[in-house]
Amino acid sequence: MTVITRFAPSPTGLLHIGGARTALYNFLFSRHHGGKFLLRIEDTDRARSTEEAVRVILEGLEWLGITPDEPPLFQSTRFARHVEVAHQLLAAGKAYRCYCTPEELAEMRERALREGRAPRYDGRWRNRDPSEAPPGVAPAIRLKAPQEGETVVEDLVQGTVRVANAELDDMILLRSDGTPTYLHAVVVDDHDMGITHVIRGDDHLTNTFRQIQIYRAMGWEVPRFAHIPLIHGADGKKLSKRHGAVSVLEFREQGYLPEALCNYLLRLGWGHGDLEVISREEAIRLFDIKDVGRAPARMDYAKLTHLNAVWLRRADDERLLAEIEARLALRFGPLTETHRARIRALLPELKERAKTLNDLAEAASFLITRPEFEPKAAALLDASRRALLARLAARLAETPFEDRATLHETLRQFAEAEGLKLGEVAQPLRAALTGRTTSPPIDATLAALGREETLARLKALPPLEEAVETLRDRG
């Protein structure tokens, strides 16, 4: 048997983090077994489905590297097939026409609630002759579900789950306007796509009992089901905007790497011993749905950020340079080759300190433009330190900038000649060049900026009065 899985989002909103994890699990499971991963866009809710939501889903999956093996299937194109199957069930006596009016259904529901029962259709048209139908009422088509025994799901995550058939009513297959219901369309599509394993959130578990009844009524093979727990916030409540980013593309905008997010989502409910940092290749080799836990996972943004920092340090510098350039170009306009060369030179140092791509871009921004001074940095540039930097500039003007070791030695000798510790020279120099009190090692910073830019920045330090004014303005 070839394993075939699918991810089937509805394009009524953003691709959320829970959906992304479901897609990832389906993708990894199929790859682990040498099978196929398919994508179905469930766009039958025409009032709420949008082209923009479809674009966001496809863009998010592409960014995450969760690519289907065939072009996406749009459920709305299969309307005729959904209707065809409903009429096959009708012809076989396994479905029937229901002529209940909306008012009858509402009264049925209200009575059940008054009597403390779960609202269910009472089957009043199950065995009636259509000749008794009231005039002018368009019928729905309902499944003639079994009323005795039970429906059992041998779930790959939840274990054996069963429900008495008496608790399930005759579900609608086609509404009175002729449109298929979601539960019916999903079964037809999964069967026709050859889906062998349905991996989805455990909020769909109650739907599964009804869907199995359609499979059996049609004489189709029932796929294996795996219902994975939902993702909650740190407070144990359903994940929402109040907990932080929940849309996949929000994480991209915030500077997370796709491999870091996938690594985190993989471990959010699935585990393999103490292994934390897992590549895509390792994930495919190791992933099995039986290792998914039953308890809801809790989103930990700090842990995700830590993982992102790990993947940043592993990332190729040219790739990071492109990401930095895209972000800095929004602030400063197109970067020059000189700017790129500076960033490229300092990247090995910069990425050791960054947690996100946005952090990395911000840390590199001083390489593009002469800095605005943070208050603590401005405080380091009093008159005596400015005089010190003027003397240092004279030494640096005669120093080769191509070699960090030479720059370090020049700074060390200068500090010794001034009767200072190296840090007492490096800190005001760092403040003057970057506008900050922290940066990569000062010799690396000097080498990245180059002699011409370094001397220009030292010469262009704002007047002391302006620095004092800056401190006053910033409190």
Active site residues: 241
Residue 430 structure tokens: 């760092």
Contact 293, 270 (CB under 8 A): yes
What are the distances in angstroms from CA 129 to CA 101, 155, 354, 391, 465? 16, 39, 72, 104, 96
Nearest to 286 by CA among 25, 53, 8, 3: 25
Residue 431 structure tokens: 């403040």
148 phi, psi to nearest 5 deg: -115, 165
Burial label for 218, CB within 10 Å (0-12, 13-18, 19+), is: middle
Residue 334 pairs in a beta bridge with none
d(CA 420, CA 432): 18
**Other Cβ atoms within 10 Å of 232 Cβ, number:** 18
Contact 349, 410 (CB under 8 A): no
Contact 294, 229 (CB under 8 A): yes
Contacts for 39 with CB less than 8 Å, ≥ 6 apart: 6, 7, 8, 61, 68, 70, 72, 73
**297-298 and 231-232 strand pairing:** parallel
In the chain the first and final C-alpha atoms are separated, in Å, by 70
Contact 258, 63 (CB under 8 A): yes
Residue 30 structure tokens: 């199929």
Angle at Cα 67 formed by Cα 238 and Cα 297, nearest 5°? 20
Residue 151 pairs in a beta bridge with 163
**224-228 and 231-232 strand pairing:** unpaired
Tell me the H-state helices in 65-140: 79-91, 102-114
Contact 233, 270 (CB under 8 A): no
- Per residue, the 3-state secondary structure of 345-411, as one string, reads HHHHHHHHHCCCHHHHHHHHHHHCCCCCCCHHHHHCCCHHHHHHHHHHHHHHCCCCCCCHHHHHHHH
d(CA 67, CA 15): 15
Angle at Cα 270 formed by Cα 239 and Cα 257, nearest 5°? 65
